[in-house]
Amino acid sequence: MKPEEPDSTRRLVVGGITTGLAGALASSAFAQEQAPAQQAPAQQLPPAAQGVRLINPVTEYPRPPFPRQEQEWPGLANKMNPRPDHGEATYRGSGRVTGRKALITGGDSGMGRAAAIAFAREGADVAFGFLPAEQSDADEVIQLIQEAGRKAVPLPGDIRDENFCNQLVTDAVRELGGLDILVNNAARQRSTDSIMDISTDQLDWTFKTNLYVLFWITKAALQHLGPGSAIINTTSATAYEPPKNLVDYAVTKAGIMNFTKSMVKQLAPQGIRVNGVAPGPIWTPLQPSGGLPPDTLPQFGADTPMGRPGQPAELAPIYVLLASAEPSYSTGQIFGAVGGRGGP
C-alpha cells in the first residue's frame, strides 16, 4: 500500500487559517483594511476568489483499514505504512517564533517531530531528545531543521535517567545559547488487557517516561526560562476518556494535565505560560510498537466521528500557537485535537 502524498496546498490552510485561533482573525482584519475601496469585503467573496482552497478534513488523510504491522519498541516513523505526515512537505512558516530557542523531548517522530519542523520553519533553533534506537528518524529531523536554515541540536539518550534529563537541558542551553520554549512530549504507551498483567517494571517504565521526566526536565529548564517563555506538555484524550487497555498510560496523561494546571499557579507571576495539548488517536510509532493490540491497528481511528486517525502535522499549528506570543492570556489551558471524540 503506497502512502498518500500530502496535498501541497493543505498547509496554506492549516498553517494560515489556523495561524492561531486569534492570529487568524487579526490577519483577516488587516487584509480587509488594506483592500482597495472598490473591492468587495473579503468575506463576501467566494472561497475560490479569495485564493483559499477549502479542504474536507474527513478525506484529507489516509483512512482505515491500514495494513497490519508490528514493530519493536520504540518504533520508527520511517517503517510505518502509510508513513505519518509531520508536515515535511506542507508546513510553511511565517516567522512566528523567529529567534526563539526550543527543546523538545521525543522530537524524532509523532507530535514532537511535527513541532520541531514547524518551529524551525517559523524561525526557531531546535534541540530535541530521542532514544539511540530512533537515530534514523532523528537524522531526517536534523536535515529538515537545517533545510529551514535553523540550528538542529540532536540529544540522544534515555530520559528515564534523571542525570541524563539534567544533562539534556544543560546541553540544549549551551548549544542553543539559551532556552525559551520547552515541549515535554516523549511518552511510553503499552497496551495491556488487565491490570493483573501490568508488571512493576512496566509501571515503572511508563511512570518514569511520562511523569518523572516531566518534573526532572521542567525543574532543570526553569533555571533558564524567563518572562515570555512557554512550556507545552503533551497530554492525551485518554486523560478524559481512558480506555480499558491503557490504564497506566491514561493515569500518567491525567497527571500531565493536572501538572500543567498546577504549574500555572506557580509560573504565571513570572510571565511563563504553561499549556497542554491533548491528542486523540494520532498515527505515530507508539501504535505499532505495542501501544495497540496488533489486531486492532488496521481500524485505528475508524471509531472517531471523522472516521480516521489524526496525523502529527494536524497538531503542529497548535504547538506553534502555544509557543508564540500571540495567545498571551492563555495559560493553564488544554487544547484538544481528537477528531470529534472525547477531549477537553
Strand order in the sheet with 152-156: 152-156, 125-130, 101-105, 181-184, 230-234, 273-279, 334-337
What pLDDT sits at residue 45? 47
Q: Tens digits of per-residue pLDDT, 249-292?
A: 999 999 999 999 999 999 999 999 999 999 999 999 999 999 99
- Nearest residue to 341 via CA among 274, 259, 272, 282: 282
The pLDDT mean for the chain works out to 89
The packing angle between helices 213-221 and 162-176, to 10°, is 40
**Taking the CB of residue 194, how many other CB atoms lie within 10 A of it?**
9
What pLDDT sits at residue 176? 98
Is the four-CA dihedral 315, 320, 323, 329 of positive or negative sign?
A: negative
Q: What percent of the chain has pLDDT over 90?
A: 83
What pLDDT sits at residue 51? 65
Q: What percent of the chain has pLDDT over 70?
A: 85
What is the CATH architecture assignment of 10-58+75-337? 3-Layer(aba) Sandwich (3.40)
What pLDDT sits at residue 52? 74
Q: Tens digits of per-residue pLDDT, 146-158?
A: 999 999 999 999 9
List, by residue number, the catalytic residues: 249
The packing angle between helices 110-121 and 135-147, to 10°, is 20
Q: Tens digits of per-residue pLDDT, 71-107?
A: 999 999 999 999 999 999 999 999 999 999 999 999 9
What pLDDT sits at residue 213? 98
Would you say residue 16 has pLDDT above 80? no
pTM over 0.75: yes
Residue 242 CA to its chain's centroid (Å): 20
Q: Dihedral (C-alpha) 183, 90, 175, 166: value to the nearest 10 degrees?
A: 20
Widest distance between CA atoms in the chain: 72
Q: Residue 259 is inside which H or E element, if any?
A: helix 247-267
Quick one: DSSP state of residue 277?
Answer: E
| 298, three cell numbers | 488496521
